């Protein structure tokens, strides 16, 4: 009788652990193709809204990249995702078209040859059914900033509820 009870309790514990492992609120980062969602858009909009006014009066271009930027290059956001920002009336350039301008290796718009803001959605992960964490940032010439963002879905709208500067040269 005691062995059956122990067996039953052990089986129950293993089943509960198995269910916990299958929990849909897993905090692993999403694959890059899933960054182009409402939470990703809210994170990028927050970064755009917080950009400093560098080189006042000079026309600016913007480019959105997803994930890490490394020697192998960067993953450009899709044109469909970039179209979500049309209401901002900014000039967006697909990241694969950006040019490296010598001698300072400035990332520039290929049409104007002027420096471009590179907006990076580096990491995005759900933390619950209605909350997200993100790392996002920007660079312009030698200036840059990286932020940790907390996002929340409330009444169907995703917004940034907390932003913390992780690093950067911008003041």
Residue 21, pLDDT above cutoff 60: no
Q: What is the pTM of this model?
A: 0.80
- Residue 23 phi/psi, 5-degree rounding, is -55, 135
With cut-offs at 50, 70 and 90, classify the pLDDT of residue 103.
confident
Determine the average pLDDT of the residues in 115-141. 96
Spatial distance between the Cα atoms of 118 and 127, rounded to a whole number of angstroms: 26
* Angular region, 162: left φ>0, alpha ψ -120 to 50, beta rest: beta
Q: Greater confidence, 12 or 158?
A: 158
- What length is written for the chain? 171
DSSP 8-state secondary structure symbol assigned to residue 108: E
Residue 6, pLDDT above cutoff 90: no
End-to-end Cα spacing for the chain: 70
Residue 20, pLDDT above cutoff 50: no
Spatial distance between the Cα atoms of 127 and 138, rounded to a whole number of angstroms: 24
Determine the average pLDDT of the residues in 96-113. 91
Spatial distance between the Cα atoms of 23 and 56, rounded to a whole number of angstroms: 49
In the numeric block, the tokens 């969602």 are attached to 37
- Closest among 111, 113, 117, 36 to 75, alpha carbons compared: 36
With cut-offs at 50, 70 and 90, classify the pLDDT of residue 69.
confident
pLDDT per position as a tens digit, 138-164: 999 999 999 999 999 999 999 999 999
Query: Which domains, from first to last, does the chain contain?
Result: 29-168 (3.10.450)
Residue 10, pLDDT above cutoff 70: no
Residue 19, pLDDT above cutoff 70: no
23-37, 65-79, 103-117: segment of lowest average pLDDT: 23-37
Q: Greater confidence, 121 or 15?
A: 121
Determine the average pLDDT of the residues in 77-91. 96
């Amino acid at each position: 009788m005691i062995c059956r009870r122990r067996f039953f309790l052990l089986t129950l514990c293993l089943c509960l652990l198995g269910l916990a492992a299958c929990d849909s609120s897993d905090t692993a980062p999403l694959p890059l193709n899933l960054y182009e969602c409402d939470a990703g858009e809210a994170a990028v909009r927050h970064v755009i809204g917080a950009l400093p006014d560098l080189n006042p009066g000079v026309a600016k271009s913007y480019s959105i990249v997803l994930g890490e930027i490394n020697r192998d290059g960067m993953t450009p956001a899709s044109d469909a995702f970039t179209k979500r920002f049309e209401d901002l009336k900014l000039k967006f350039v697909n990241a694969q078209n950006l040019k490296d301008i010598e001698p300072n290796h400035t990332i520039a718009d290929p049409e104007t040859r002027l420096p471009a803001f590179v907006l990076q959605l580096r990491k995005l992960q759900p933390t619950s059914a209605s909350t997200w964490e993100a790392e996002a940032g920007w660079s312009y010439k030698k200036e840059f900033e990286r932020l940790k963002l907390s996002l929340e879905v409330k009444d169907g709208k995703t917004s940034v509820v907390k932003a913390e500067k992780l690093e950067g040269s911008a003041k």
